[in-house]
């Protein structure tokens, strides 16, 4: 059952609705146009509209609430529509407010205990000036330490202290932030600086006349000097003051004011002249302590874990072709998994497996994965059960890792309408469900694998896990997902009266409904990969494809040479999102055939049809569509789209694709001679592996014995008579086997080679 809360904005086929009611029978919506008509949707119709392949129904939670309407008047209804500098400023202010509220709650508890024990009362925590003067330096130090950890510095040093300044707001400023947050239901967007928009014009009409004339002179093809223009403006205003009375004198703007007004002009006007630029954390103690979850996705927990198994970083098909000597050099490693669990149903709604340590990329991947249906990936990986568990959670609990406090993650969580729960560091019990699931995972998953590391050194004993490693990393990653979907979801759970997580999900979804995940353009706005491009006449170019619309060209007319921020949905190249002054806009691809096609399918089809070849830069539409349909059914494509062990795509990857795929190709209606037929079993080529930064084989670093190191040092330390010393001699280049991360190179086409 789909549950649509009140005050949500529902858009379907260009018509906007507001939610009046929603129950097991369906939803009653009211059109927000001049008709003001009331329309009913059954539960079946809602599911059909939300799952429509092209132009699906979208839901924006809380859009018509009083709080959101008030924020839209200031032009800041969501964090993602703000500039990055404004987002950082809002998160910094929110950090100060949340820390104060946490200290205030701790003070009340310590005061209560002191009263019971007959001890002196602790120092007061309030919004008085004396109390804030004592608290602000402590909170400021915690904020700077967080920024240092974000930059990779665990503690402040005499060098890093100068790079991260200590920000200490005045007590009256912090008091105003606390009051504003309480008045706006603790929505951090209310802390955006809007004084420039709300402040009345400082200068009188007569003074503003001279200032405007000076600005017009600065917008000249002669590239005049602003200091000289200001001097001329000053002489004119002084001459006018000599003709005015003593009570009617003009105030002369300083040179810095002239420069600031000039810099605020649109880029188009300047090009004609001289030059031609903590996210949603809630007060969790009173709201979340002791809450019993009764709805699916009412609370979700996200965490990372390093698996207790040594695996081989080599593709299964290549392992059999390696000689014994090369097999010994293959690197052994332990994989990382990022998992998200629904507390009410114990279902795993996100499971990302990677050979890289957790980061902001893995956090965003898990968040995006939790909001959609993953049945297609599970089916192509061989699962017999569906993996439909997903949607928009109400509360998300994470740990104190730095990447969970990163701006893109915080912005995506806030704008999706999710409350972010950040417990104190070291309090694993506040995320007890996901921690307990990791223990279940470790004890049940790897009983039949060689190379297990166990949970502690005492359990491991003298067992050499690295030497016994026999499983391939990508094979283990696939087994993890199949175990979670087919095994764990269908196993009886003692704490749920022996109900299985899958059945519990169906039961709660039927009784209470599930908030749908973001769909359509909103999904790209929240989870797309950030890219920056200069808009050309052809449009916005990403991965060799052009995206074009009238609104996009309007942005180009205002800032022709400026880098414009966009977001790309890796799972759907039919359209991208571009940030404008009014917020995110959707820009469709010039090729409609890319609707619903992932970036991995597009690269595979491009490489198979050789669209980058100058002599064959065309393909028939039907063959391209058949190739996409064929690739969707392949298990190897499912592994790539699920991100099993593979790195997450970034803007650098898209730019590398564009440099290599610089040919312009055409789609024709008639068949093209020599087109390969989409049949048989598809295997990724070495060219595609190289394009996706995937190493078929990763070798470990060569280990030297103590004797080899001593002989090398002695050779370099005592050069023979008449010969140069060791370090100056030309050494043999290191082989690929001596370098960590060096893949086997069997590539015959350089289209996707690294630069």
**560 or 154: which leads in pLDDT:** 560
Q: Report the pLDDT value the prediction gives residue 595, as an integer from 0 to 100.
A: 87
Q: Which of 292-301, 651-660, 735-744 has the lowest mean pLDDT?
A: 735-744
Q: Report the pLDDT value the prediction gives residue 424, as an integer from 0 to 100.
A: 67
- List, for residues 494-519, the tens digit of each pLDDT value: 888 889 999 999 999 999 999 999 88
As a whole number, mean pLDDT of residues 582-588 equals 87
- Please give the helix or strand (H or E) that residue 47 lies within, else none: helix 43-50
Q: Report the pLDDT value the prediction gives residue 429, as an integer from 0 to 100.
A: 62
Q: Report the pLDDT value the prediction gives residue 388, as an integer from 0 to 100.
A: 92
Whose structure tokens read 């003692």?
494
- pTM, two decimals, is 0.59
Long-range contacts of 739-744 (CB under 8 A, 24+ apart): 739/699, 739/701, 740/331, 740/698, 740/699, 740/700, 740/701, 741/695, 741/698, 741/699, 742/695, 742/698, 742/699, 743/689, 743/690, 743/694, 743/695, 743/696, 743/697, 743/698, 744/318, 744/696, 744/697
Residues 6+ apart with CB under 8 A from 523: 368, 371, 372, 517, 569, 572
Task: Of 426, 147, 138, give the one whose Cα is nearest residue 278.
Answer: 147
Whose structure tokens read 């619903």?
596
Q: Report the pLDDT value the prediction gives residue 502, as an integer from 0 to 100.
A: 92
- Please give the helix or strand (H or E) that residue 51 lies within, else none: none
Tell me the residue length of the chain: 755
Burial class (CB in 10 A: 0-12, 13-18, 19+), 400: middle
Highest mean pLDDT of the ranges 190-194, 416-420, 714-718: 416-420
Q: Report the pLDDT value the prediction gives residue 287, as an integer from 0 to 100.
A: 42
State phi, psi for 38 to the nearest 5 degrees.
Answer: -100, 125
As a whole number, mean pLDDT of residues 203-231 equals 76
CB 252 within 8 A of CB 237: yes
- List, for residues 120-153, the tens digit of each pLDDT value: 888 888 889 888 898 889 888 888 888 877 766 6
- The total of other beta-carbon atoms located within 10 Å of residue 174's CB is 21
DSSP state of 428: G
Give the pLDDT band of residue 17 (cuts 50, 70, 90): very high
Give the max Cα distance, the chain.
99
Answer yes or no: is pLDDT of 289 > 60. no
CB 345 within 8 A of CB 287: no
State phi, psi for 77 to the nearest 5 degrees.
Answer: -75, -20
Answer yes or no: is pLDDT of 474 > 60. yes
CB 502 within 8 A of CB 490: yes
- List, for residues 304-361, the tens digit of each pLDDT value: 888 767 665 555 455 455 556 655 655 667 788 889 999 999 999 998 888 788 888 8
CA distance 416 to 59: 10
- The total of other beta-carbon atoms located within 10 Å of residue 586's CB is 18
Answer yes or no: is pLDDT of 691 > 70. no
Token duo for residue 705: 């014995």
Q: Which of 22-26, 73-77, 129-133, 605-609 has the lowest mean pLDDT?
A: 73-77
**561 or 473: which leads in pLDDT:** 561
Answer yes or no: is pLDDT of 187 > 80. no
Q: What integer best gives the mean pLDDT of the chain? A: 75
Q: Report the pLDDT value the prediction gives residue 232, as an integer from 0 to 100.
A: 85
Q: Report the pLDDT value the prediction gives residue 230, as an integer from 0 to 100.
A: 85
Percent of the chain residues topping a pLDDT of 70: 67
Answer yes or no: is pLDDT of 685 > 90. no
Q: Identify the three-state secondary structure at position 599.
A: helix
Whose structure tokens read 């949707």?
41
Answer yes or no: is pLDDT of 114 > 80. yes
Q: Report the pLDDT value the prediction gives residue 393, as an integer from 0 to 100.
A: 92
User: Residue 537, Cα to own-chain centre: how many angstroms?
Assistant: 29
- List, for residues 404-429, the tens digit of each pLDDT value: 878 888 888 888 888 888 776 666 66
Give the pLDDT band of residue 464 (cuts 50, 70, 90): very low
Q: Report the pLDDT value the prediction gives residue 737, as an integer from 0 to 100.
A: 37
CA distance 49 to 11: 10
Token duo for residue 657: 């694709």
Q: Report the pLDDT value the prediction gives residue 312, as an integer from 0 to 100.
A: 53
């Amino acid at each position: 059952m789909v549950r649509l809360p009140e005050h949500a904005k529902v858009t379907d086929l260009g018509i906007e609705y507001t939610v009046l009611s929603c129950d097991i029978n369906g939803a009653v919506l009211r059109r927000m146009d001049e008709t003001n008509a009331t329309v009913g949707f059954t539960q079946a119709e809602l599911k059909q509209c939300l799952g429509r392949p092209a132009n699906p129904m979208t839901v924006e939670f809380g859009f018509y609430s009083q709080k959101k309407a008030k924020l839209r008047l200031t032009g800041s209804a969501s964090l993602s529509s703000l500039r990055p500098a404004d987002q950082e400023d809002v998160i910094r202010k929110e950090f100060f407010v949340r820390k104060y509220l946490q200290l205030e709650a701790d003070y009340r508890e310590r005061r209560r205990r002191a009263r019971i024990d007959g001890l002196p009362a602790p120092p007061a925590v309030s919004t008085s000036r004396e109390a804030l003067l004592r608290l602000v330096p402590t909170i400021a130090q915690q904020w700077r330490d967080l920024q240092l950890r974000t930059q990779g510095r665990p503690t402040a040093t005499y060098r890093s202290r100068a790079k991260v300044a200590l920000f200490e707001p005045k007590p009256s400023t912090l008091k105003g932030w606390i009051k504003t947050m309480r008045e706006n239901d603790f929505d951090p967007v209310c802390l955006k600086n809007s004084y420039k928009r709300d402040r009345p014009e400082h200068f009188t009409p007569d003074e503003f006349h001279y200032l405007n004339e000076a600005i017009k002179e600065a917008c000249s093809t002669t590239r005049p000097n602003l200091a000289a223009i200001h001097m001329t403006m000053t002489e004119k205003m002084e001459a006018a003051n000599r003709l005015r009375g003593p009570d009617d004198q003009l105030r002369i703007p300083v040179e810095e004011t002239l420069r600031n007004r000039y810099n605020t002009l649109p880029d188009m006007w300047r090009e004609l002249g001289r030059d031609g630029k903590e996210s949603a954390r809630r007060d969790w103690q009173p709201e979340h302590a002791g809450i019993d979850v009764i709805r699916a996705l009412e609370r979700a927990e996200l965490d990372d874990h390093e698996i207790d198994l040594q695996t081989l970083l080599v593709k299964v098909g290549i392992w059999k072709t390696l000689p014994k000597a090369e097999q010994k050099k293959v690197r052994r490693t332990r994989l990382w998994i990022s998992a998200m669990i629904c507390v009410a149903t114990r279902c795993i709604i996100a499971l990302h497996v990677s050979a890289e340590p957790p980061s902001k990329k893995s956090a965003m991947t898990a968040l995006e994965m939790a909001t959609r249906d993953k049945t297609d990936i599970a089916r192509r990986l061989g699962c017999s059960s569906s993996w439909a568990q997903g949607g928009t959670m109400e509360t998300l609990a994470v740990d104190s890792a730095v990447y969970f406090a990163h701006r893109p993650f915080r912005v995506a969580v806030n704008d999706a309408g999710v409350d972010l729960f950040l417990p104190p560091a070291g309090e694993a019990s506040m995320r007890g469900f996901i921690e307990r699931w990791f223990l279940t995972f470790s004890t049940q998953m790897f009983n039949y694998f060689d190379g297990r590391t166990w949970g502690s050194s005492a359990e491991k004993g003298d067992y050499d896990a690295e030497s016994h490693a026999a499983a391939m990393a990508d094979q283990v990653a696939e087994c993890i997902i199949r175990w979670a979907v087919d095994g764990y979801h269908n196993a009886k759970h003692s704490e749920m009266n022996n109900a299985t997580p899958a059945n519990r999900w169906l039961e709660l979804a039927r009784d209470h409904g599930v908030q749908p995940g973001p769909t359509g353009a909103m999904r790209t706005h929240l989870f797309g990969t950030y890219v920056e491009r200069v808009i050309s006449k052809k449009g916005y170019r990403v991965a060799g494809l052009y995206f074009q619309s009238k609104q996009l060209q309007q942005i180009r007319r205002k800032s022709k040479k400026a880098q414009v921020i966009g977001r790309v949905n890796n799972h759907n190249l039919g359209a991208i999102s571009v940030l404008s002054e009014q917020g995110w806009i959707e820009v469709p691809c010039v090729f409609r055939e890319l609707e619903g096609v992932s970036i991995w399918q597009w690269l595979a089809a491009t490489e198979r049809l050789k669209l980058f070849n100058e002599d064959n830069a065309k393909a028939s539409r039907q063959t391209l569509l058949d190739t996409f349909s064929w690739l969707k059914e392949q298990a190897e494509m499912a592994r790539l789209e699920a991100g099993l062990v593979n790195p997450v795509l970034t803007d650098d990857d898209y730019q590398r694709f564009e440099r290599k795929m610089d040919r312009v190709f055409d789609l024709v209606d008639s068949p093209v001679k020599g087109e390969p037929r989409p049949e048989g079993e598809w295997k990724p080529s070495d060219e595609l592996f190289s394009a996706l930064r995937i190493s078929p084989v990763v070798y470990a670093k060569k280990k030297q014995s103590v004797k080899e190191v001593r002989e090398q040092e002695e050779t370099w330390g005592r050069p023979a008579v008449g010969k140069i010393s060791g370090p100056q001699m030309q050494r043999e280049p290191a082989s690929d086997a001596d370098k960590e991360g060096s893949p086997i190179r069997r590539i015959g086409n350089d289209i996707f080679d690294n630069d």
